[in-house]
């Protein structure tokens, strides 16, 4: 449903230049792989958003459809019904908000409400209207690599490169300026465990595309497999992956646990600046 020209009230978002940014995850879903159902009520979601801001979140990433493996797809109106009670209140907290969706109409409504970033787990390649919506809104976009199925025999880095080239071409064609494009290799999305760690080990090679990079491995199976840890015990593994990614060039890390990741960023910057943290 198109309701006329898109009017965006957001104050915008500036990509990090001095230090990486922490994107705090706010799921308003009943079936998210990690914290599904915990923040579905508007009041609880808003409280969690406030807590993440206090802990140092630079961005809040709000999503209403789980992207975990084998998750049940959510109809557009159901997705919006989950977002509508909380989205504007979270935006009004003043921290830039990212909308985690691959549906153009959801992105359109969220940007009209004030979202500053569209986080598309299909890199503008799922919904043919998405690139135009992002361009019209003038917001940033995270274009994530994804695959319907993992293929252990695939050259995953080559596949990511070709996927990114397609996403960037779609963005350019729609009029999304390069300064507002962000790339995400998509840890855990259509990849084997070995492929995930190959991507991490070669993360710096993704900088050849000339765009900021996002890393999002928080609590994922790649960590649980190595540590033999259940979901609740994957914090330190998540921090290890994200710190490695930041050392290799990640500008944004997407995490459930904001405070420890914000501390990692502070320590990284103290080290880079050779400054006494005291």
* C-alpha–C-alpha distance, residues 134 and 100, integer Å: 13
pLDDT range class, residue 38, cuts 50, 70, 90: very low
- 140-144 and 117-120 strand pairing: parallel
Where in the sequence is the domain holding 81, given as residue range(s)? Answer: 21-272
pLDDT range class, residue 30, cuts 50, 70, 90: confident
Structural domain contains residue 15: no
Structural domain contains residue 12: no
Q: In this predicted structure, what is the pLDDT of residue 3? A: 43
Q: In this predicted structure, what is the pLDDT of residue 32? A: 43
Q: Which residues are catalytic?
A: 220, 254
* C-alpha–C-alpha distance, residues 118 and 140, integer Å: 6
pLDDT range class, residue 136, cuts 50, 70, 90: very high
Structural domain contains residue 205: yes
Q: In this predicted structure, what is the pLDDT of residue 227? A: 97
Q: In this predicted structure, what is the pLDDT of residue 72? A: 79
Count CB atoms within 10 A of the CB of residue 25.
26
Structural domain contains residue 49: yes
Coil, helix or strand at residue 207: helix
Dihedral sign computed on CA atoms, order 109, 111, 115, 120: positive
**pTM confidence score:** 0.91
Structural domain contains residue 8: no
CATH number of the domain to which 213 belongs:
3.20.20.20
* 232 has a pLDDT exceeding 70: yes
Total domains in the fold of the chain: 1
Structural domain contains residue 102: yes
| Mean pLDDT of all residues in 12-17 | 79
* C-alpha–C-alpha distance, residues 43 and 40, integer Å: 9
**pLDDT for 110-121, tens place per residue?**
999 999 999 999
Q: In this predicted structure, what is the pLDDT of residue 278? A: 58
Structural domain contains residue 65: yes
Structural domain contains residue 82: yes
**pLDDT for 55-89, tens place per residue?**
999 999 999 997 766 677 899 999 999 999 999 99
* 125 has a pLDDT exceeding 60: yes
* C-alpha–C-alpha distance, residues 145 and 98, integer Å: 17
Q: Over the chain, what is the mean pLDDT?
A: 91
């Amino acid at each position: 449903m198109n309701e006329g020209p898109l009017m965006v009230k957001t104050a915008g978002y500036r990509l990090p230049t001095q230090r990486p940014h922490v994107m705090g995850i706010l799921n308003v879903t009943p079936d998210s792989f990690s914290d599904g159902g915990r923040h579905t009520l508007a009041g609880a979601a808003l409280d969690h958003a406030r807590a993440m801001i206090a802990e140092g979140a630079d961005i809040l990433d709000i999503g209403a459809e789980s992207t975990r493996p084998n998750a049940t797809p959510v109809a557009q109106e159901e997705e919006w019904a989950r977002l509508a009670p909380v989205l504007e209140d979270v935006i009004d907290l003043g921290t830039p908000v990212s909308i985690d969706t691959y549906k153009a109409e959801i992105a359109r409504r969220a940007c009209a409400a004030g979202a500053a970033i569209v986080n598309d787990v299909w890199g503008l390649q799922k919904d043919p209207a998405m690139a135009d919506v992002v361009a019209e809104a003038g917001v940033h976009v995270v274009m994530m690599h994804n695959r319907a199925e993992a293929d252990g025999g695939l050259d995953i880095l080559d596949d990511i490169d070709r996927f990114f080239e397609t996403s960037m071409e779609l963005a350019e064609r729609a009029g999304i300026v390069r300064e507002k494009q962000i790339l995400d290799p998509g840890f855990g999305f259509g990849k084997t465990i070995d492929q995930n760690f190959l991507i991490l080990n070669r993360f710096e090679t993704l900088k050849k595309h000339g765009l900021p990079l996002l890393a999002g491995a928080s609590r994922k199976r790649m960590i649980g497999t190595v540590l033999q840890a259940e979901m609740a015990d994957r914090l330190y593994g998540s921090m290890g992956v994200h710190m490695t990614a930041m050392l290799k060039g990640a500008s944004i890390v997407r995490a459930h646990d904001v405070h420890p990741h914000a501390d990692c960023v502070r320590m990284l910057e103290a080290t880079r600046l050779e400054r006494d943290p005291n």
